[in-house]
Amino acid sequence: MAHVALSITRRWAMTPVALRVAVIYLGARAVTTAFLLIAASLSTSSSRFGAGAGLIDFVLGWDAQWYWLVAENGYPSELPLSDTGVVVENAWAFMPVFAYAAKGIGFVLGSWGAGALLLSLVAGYLACLALHRLLRERLGNSAAMWAVVFFAAGPIAAMFQVGYAETLFLLLLFLALEATIRRRYAWLYVLIPVMAFTRPGILAFALYLGLHGVLRWIRRAQDPLPGREIAHILALGALATASGFAWQAIAGIVTGDPGAYLATELAWRQHWITGGVEGFIPFEGWVQASQFWFALWGMPQWWGPLVLAVLVIGASPALLFSPQVRALGADLRLWSASYLLYLLAVFFPQSSTFRLLLPLSPLWGAVAVSRSRLWRIGVLAACLVGQWFWIYHVYALGSTFWQVP
């Protein structure tokens, strides 16, 4: 028996990486599909999806409807307003790349939903390959492959097979991180604009490029920094920054309102803040949300900002400087820090928080560093439990404000 197990292990190790990742990915998608089918069977008339919901309802559910609306109708030239004259939710919050790419694929397959599903699935598989390549050199093949397992079967794995832009953005992000780490800066002139019009987050990448440049300057004695690479880093930082504000400019030009995009994004906060939203102040969203959640949980509001400060001050250094995270290398740590700071600055933490943490997926490598089989299987089990919990609440129930993905 031991001989058979050893033989299987050796054959698995000799199998091409692309095939091994495909086996893992298809297995993970089978599990997610089973979870979604169970959720569909549990959906009732009180759920957003109603009794008798099917997989296609989930593929097209929640934000996928907005991407479909963009693909079919484009963007409004006039911002929709509430009865009180406040901007309400509209299509300007959703970038165009995924919506129109799914439409192009859907033209061949017969529907936008089919195109969105195929795009998410294929981009998800390619993102798994890109993640393995990103981590393999630093962590070794085994840890990199386990990181792919955790990524493909993680708590938010439903995003791999619904009409959201997440998997496409993650693919582009992993490719951009690898291009930066390997000093293949020319690729970023293509990747950065596409990322910017796929999903918000490119400003975090601009910050990361700045920190990457600073690190390379500090280490220039050990790691030579030619003038052409300085020029690339500066140009790409400027490109990422400009790309990050380009969509705001486009929305302003089309609608005639310079604050159109910001007002649209803030429209989603109105349901969470008593008295409405007066404007955007960096980092204010987390303070407001901490007060909201602590009040909802029956605790004093002032506890919220205090606990938030303790978590940020205490958890951030541990997260970024633990031995497991340090094993990822400086660049992935800088990216993680940049994205976390970006979220703290611009995001209002609510039901979508866990989905918005997906760009931190390279940190799965830190989780996979341990060679303990018991640890790795335990993490996988926790991922699957978390995935079912998330799918059950978002798709089977889906009836209240905190069950929106």
Residue-averaged pLDDT of the chain: 91
Cα three-residue angle 347-205-287, rounded to 5 degrees:
20
How many domains does the chain contain in total? 1
Give the integer Cα–Cα distance in Å for 20 and 18. Answer: 6
Domain that holds residue 146: 2-403
Is the pTM above the cut of 0.75? Answer: yes
Give the integer Cα–Cα distance in Å for 252 and 262. Answer: 10
* Number of neighbours of residue 299 by Cβ within 10 angstroms: 12
pLDDT digits (tens, 9 = 90+) for 170-219: 999 999 999 999 999 999 999 999 999 999 999 999 999 999 999 999 99
pLDDT digits (tens, 9 = 90+) for 65-82: 999 999 999 999 999 998
Contact 111/60 with Cβ under 8 angstroms?
Answer: no
* Tokens 């349901």 -> residue: 271
